[in-house]
Amino acid sequence: MEKLEMLYEGKAKKVYKTDKDDRYIVEYKDDATAFNGLKKGSVHDKGVVNNKVSSIIFAILEEKGIPTHFISYLNEREQLVKAVEIVPVEVIIRNLATGSIIKRLGIEDGLVFKEPVLEFCYKNDDFNDPIINEYHAKAMNLATESELAKIKEYTFKINDMLIEFFKDKGLRLVDFKLEFGRYKGDIILSDEISPDTCRLWDIETNEKMDKDRFRKDLGNVEEAYKEVLQRLNI
Ligand code: TMP
Ligand code: ASP
């Protein structure tokens, strides 16, 4: 597969065209941003770790019946993926309350929800990815009713699988963000699942092992990401 021109550069990844219309190459960068790009930095080897973590998780989800964009791990920073059109709706699942929801709703930090909370956000940096509901998504033509139904079904299944998967590795899956894409008429899981897009707390100590270490200047960001990868490989 030949890597051709760059199609898109995001905050953490670059997407390249290939000589096949239905394949992209995704390259993971070390750049780190938070608060919609207000805080900028870089974490040594973050791209290498996230590429590996996301490849491992997508391969597992695919094996368990979730359709994904993942095709293969190419090298330390690159993956071959299906060329999707990203649905401009971010999906967040929260098992425990922390982060933006505690400020928005006045909930106690660390509260365990009675059932997982699913939120949709409109993927629009100019407006800070605002929360929307399904009516906005349909009315604004961001996704159809049947696409939203599939997205919800896959998201809850992924949550169930990943809670167990991470528990086995001594990690609590607090919350995470997913993105889906359109590919040949289907909705498939896209983007990445990594310590950039999940909150993962050590089950014993509640130590944060994810991007909150960067967001909140907690230190040892690289070490925490590498620890997550190491636990996944066991
Ligand atoms: P939040 O508490 O800041 O809304 O974040 C919820 C989850 O979504 C958390 O696991 C981090 C993830 N997330 C992203 O992956 N990208 C984003 O742009 C934001 C705001 C959150
Ligand atoms: N990904 C977002 C940003 O780049 C927000 C975050 O992850 O906190 O700013």
What is the secondary structure of the chain as a DSSP string?
Answer: --EEEEEEE-SSEEEEEESSTTEEEEEE-SEEEETTTTEEEE-TTHHHHHHHHHHHHHHHHHHTT--BSEEEEEETTEEEEE-PEEPSEEEEEEEE--THHHHHH-PPTTPEEEEEEEEEEE--GGGTS-EE-HHHHHHTTSS-HHHHHHHHHHHHHHHHHHHHHHHHTTEEEEEEEEEEEEETTEEEEES--STTTEEEEETTT--B-STHHHHTT-S-HHHHHHHHHHHHT-
Spacing, Cα 35 to ligand 2 middle (Å): 5
Domains and their CATH numbers in the chain: 3-82 (3.30.200.20), 85-220 (3.30.470.20)
| pTM metric for this prediction | 0.98
Look-up: residue for tokens 């509901």? 133
**What residues contact 219, with CB distance under 8 A and at least 6 apart?**
213
Distance 33 CA to ligand 2 centre (A): 5
Which pLDDT does position 225 carry in this prediction? 98
Question: According to the model, what pLDDT value does residue 234 have?
Answer: 73
pLDDT recorded at residue 1: 86
User: Which residue's C-alpha comes closest to atom 8 of ligand 2?
Assistant: 34
Tell me the pLDDT of the chain averaged across its residues: 98
Closest ligand 1 atom, residue 210 Cα: 10
CA of 199 to the centre of ligand 1 (A): 8
Q: Does the structure show a pLDDT above 80 at 133?
A: yes
pLDDT digits (tens, 9 = 90+) for 155-197: 999 999 999 999 999 999 999 999 999 999 999 999 999 999 9
Rounded to the nearest whole angstrom, what is the distance from the C-alpha of residue 105 to the centroid of ligand 1?
16
Where residue 49 falls among pLDDT bands split at 50, 70, 90? very high
Q: Ligand 1 — pocket residues by CB below 6 A?
A: 92, 99-101, 129, 175-177, 197-199
